[in-house]
Structure 1
Amino acid sequence: MTTADTDPTAVPGVVEPEIGEELLSVNNLTKHFPIRRGLLQRQVGAVQAVDGLDFTVTKGETLSLVGESGCGKTTTGRLLTRLLEPSDGRIVFEGRDITHMSEGKMRPLRRDVQMIFQDPYGSLNPRHTVGKIVGAPFKLQKVQTENGVKKAVQELLELVGLSPEHYNRYPHEFSGGQRQRIGIARTLALRPKLIVADEPVSALDVSIQAQVVNLLEDLQEEFDLTYVMIAHDLSVVRHVSDRVAVMYLGKIVELADRVSLYEKPMHPYTLALLSAVPIPDTARKSKRERIRLVGDVPSPINPPPACRFHTRCWKAQDICKVVEPPLIQLAPGHQSACHFPENATPEQEATAMKAAETNPGRDSVKA
């Protein structure tokens, strides 16, 4: 029996996912924020925060989104959790199209899709106790617990490494790492299937980051969680990810499994990002060439035509300015959007050029 047979919001013919199957599918996901001016507030432009993303997330895996500030990582996370309304594209979760689902229909799905916010100081209400904060999901979703909400909250606090005695305390009484644990406990309350973690450790001390990262990994194994991790620290990403998607100016420029991406990056932008990762071994550090990108990130209001990275790329040629390279698979499980990929065989280079000729991207300049 397919999902559509029992759920009117389901996509016809799609079967409920099992272990190893797709949990989330994104196609041409787009979010443009309009710019309005004048007395009549007419639209004079748009911020192209996210522009045509395609990827899937398999049950039980961790997919990380990385890139510079302003590349659209956080906006993507908010689109996946439907905290923002997409401008275009399609989001399918467990066979159900949730792209433009109403708030009423989304409410039951909030149990399955939750978010860990970046700022452990701003994401907790300072006027509420820890018990009220962590217990809020039970109240909002009208979920009955076996031994009462207080007992359930205390068990969650223990689960994330806090004391049940913290139930009646307020957020200002905790450190940053403890506040993030409170946020994680709230996220886990309804046992979600998908968690979007928006830079969950970036606001924490380095000594605390490892503890929170290890906690997230332990919880994933215990509850069979699926993560979409948003981060800019590539050292953390390498430790926690199964696959990594590199974003630049609202687009995915490379998508690969962790090992392939770190050992043989194919997009010049990915290579530049990896060259900036600190290496504790001085011998290895001296042998590595640091790639310094020239110029600032272009404005998402008016991004460069064709390949958006060509204004800062040392390999850019004329074709990069007129034909957008499509995101294609150049090696098993390794996709890249570049006319002249790094670490590529002659066959892979030929594949990239042929793809540009037969299937140019949406931003290609029309003659």
Structure 2
Amino acid sequence: MTTPNEPLLSVQDLQKHFPVTKGLLKRQVGAVKAVDGISFDVFKGETLGVVGESGCGKSTMGRLVTRLLEPTGGKVVFEGQDITHMSQGRLRPLRRDMQMIFQDPFSSLNPRHTVGAIVGAPFRIQGIKTEHGTKKAVQDILELVGLNPEHYNRYPHEFSGGQRQRIGIARTLALKPKMIIADEPVSALDVSIQAQVVNLLEDLQNELDLTYVVIAHDLSVVRHISDRVAVMYLGKLVELADRKDLYESPMHPYTNALMSAVPIPDPARRNDRERIRLQGDVPSPLSPPPACRFHTRCWKAQAICKVEEPPLVELAPRHQVACHFPENVSKESTEAVSA
């Protein structure tokens, strides 16, 4: 168990390198560094948003935290237990407390199974008996996420995208987890349905005292639902701060570029804001740039950025950034980092 001041989840120098092989003998010729040394904590009851461009390693990080992928290096600590290399047998009971919502609400549901079988699967796998039977428990969960309990015997293809995502959320909630990793939970849904699912997640968090890690590329969704936000770029964590600080005073140039792309409904304010357009594509994680991985696209890059990797340091209260030339930061903080 964790104390009030201890994180529910602690990730330390987490890495995942996928080997690249060649030839009939499958000789390894390189590695895709999907996640390459990230560290962060998540505290009970909060929501951590994780943002970044496609291919930056967000989804891989979520699968590593839930041990759906085996890490190459680093450590994952959940409720004070190191689960990094825990056997599947010992890990199974912990999966009750740590669940995942997947990005595609259709492919994550078995089309041959009814909703009742899908949502009831966690009870069967964990060998849990409920007071009034599994069917009643499943129907209660369906009602909790806004579905009709009578949908118990229907199949996934009979539902809309938003309803299928609710089914996935219901399955996640079956065992009353303490933490949920939500991987792009609304990206495959219509805008009107997105708001419903986001509001549902917030209501469930308040009702069930849940802790979330929400992975998304929609910065507006992340701003609405998160307490803190982590920004990833090419397998690295480049900024981590409270939501208000990150959106109002981003320090990393990459974060600044992301924020400049967030739509503003007010035309007057929209015209006043400068749009930062990054040059080129995201480099390949198979051969990332040396030192600061963002320097090939950064307008502030200097010689040191090409030879020395900037550490993730705290430049303001609860605001960490990995950059040699951060923005929106006091002179004293910049000098302290340089020293």
> Under TM normalisation by the shorter chain, which class is it?
over 0.9
Listed as ranges, the matches of 1:129-278 within 5 Å are: 129-278=114-263
**Deviation at 1:88?**
0.2
**Deviation at 1:69?**
0.2
The separation in 1 between residues aligned to 2:316 and 2:29, in whole angstroms, is 42
Return the TM-score normalized by structure 2: 0.99
**Deviation at 1:31?**
0.2
Deviation per CA, 1:141-199: give whole Å up to 9, x if none: 00010000000000000000000110000000000000000000000000001100000
**Deviation at 1:39?**
1.7
Deviation per CA, 1:18-50: give whole Å up to 9, x if none: 445310001100000000111211110000000
The one-letter amino acid of 2:114's match is T
**Deviation at 1:344?**
1.2
**Deviation at 1:325?**
0.5
Q: Give the match for residue 83 of structure 2.
A: 98
1:38 corresponds to which of 19, 23, 26: 23
Q: Give the match for residue 72 of structure 2.
A: 87
Q: Establish whether residue 323 from structure 1 lines up as the match of residue 308 from structure 2.
A: yes
The one-letter amino acid of 1:195's match is I
The one-letter amino acid of 1:306's match is A
Q: Please identify, of 102-111 and 344-353, the stretch whose mean Cα deviation from structure 2 is larger.
A: 344-353
The separation in 1 between residues aligned to 2:338 and 2:186, in whole angstroms, is 39
Q: 1:338 touches 1:352 (CA, 8 Å); kept in 2?
A: no
SS in 2 for 1:294: coil
**Deviation at 1:255?**
0.2
Q: Give the match for residue 115 of structure 1.
A: 100
Q: 1:51 touches 1:250 (CA, 8 Å); kept in 2?
A: yes
**Distance verdict in 2 for CA 1:285–1:202, change over 3 Å:** same
The separation in 2 between residues aligned to 1:38 and 1:173, in whole angstroms, is 45
SS in 2 for 1:155: helix
Q: Give the match for residue 13 of structure 1.
A: none
Listed as ranges, the matches of 1:276-291 within 5 Å are: 276-291=261-276
The one-letter amino acid of 1:116's match is I
Deviation per CA, 1:44-87: give whole Å up to 9, x if none: 00000000011000000001110000000000000000000000
The separation in 1 between residues aligned to 2:5 and 2:264, in whole angstroms, is 34
Unpaired segments of 5 or more residues in structure 2?
A: none
Q: Establish whether residue 23 from structure 1 lines up as the match of residue 8 from structure 2.
A: yes
SS in 2 for 1:70: coil
The one-letter amino acid of 1:232's match is H
Q: 1:20 touches 1:59 (CA, 8 Å); kept in 2?
A: no
The separation in 1 between residues aligned to 2:176 and 2:216, in whole angstroms, is 23
The one-letter amino acid of 1:131's match is G
The separation in 2 between residues aligned to 1:348 and 1:265, in whole angstroms, is 15
**Deviation at 1:351?**
2.4
Unpaired segments of 5 or more residues in structure 1?
A: 1-15, 355-367
**Deviation at 1:350?**
1.2
Q: Establish whether residue 335 from structure 1 lines up as the match of residue 320 from structure 2.
A: yes
Listed as ranges, the matches of 1:66-81 within 5 Å are: 66-81=51-66
Name the Cα RMSD after superposition. 0.7
SS in 2 for 1:50: strand
**Deviation at 1:17?**
1.2
Q: Give the match for residue 360 of structure 1.
A: none
The separation in 2 between residues aligned to 1:252 and 1:183, in whole angstroms, is 29
The separation in 1 between residues aligned to 2:175 and 2:288, in whole angstroms, is 41
Q: 1:20 touches 1:60 (CA, 8 Å); kept in 2?
A: no
**Deviation at 1:205?**
0.2
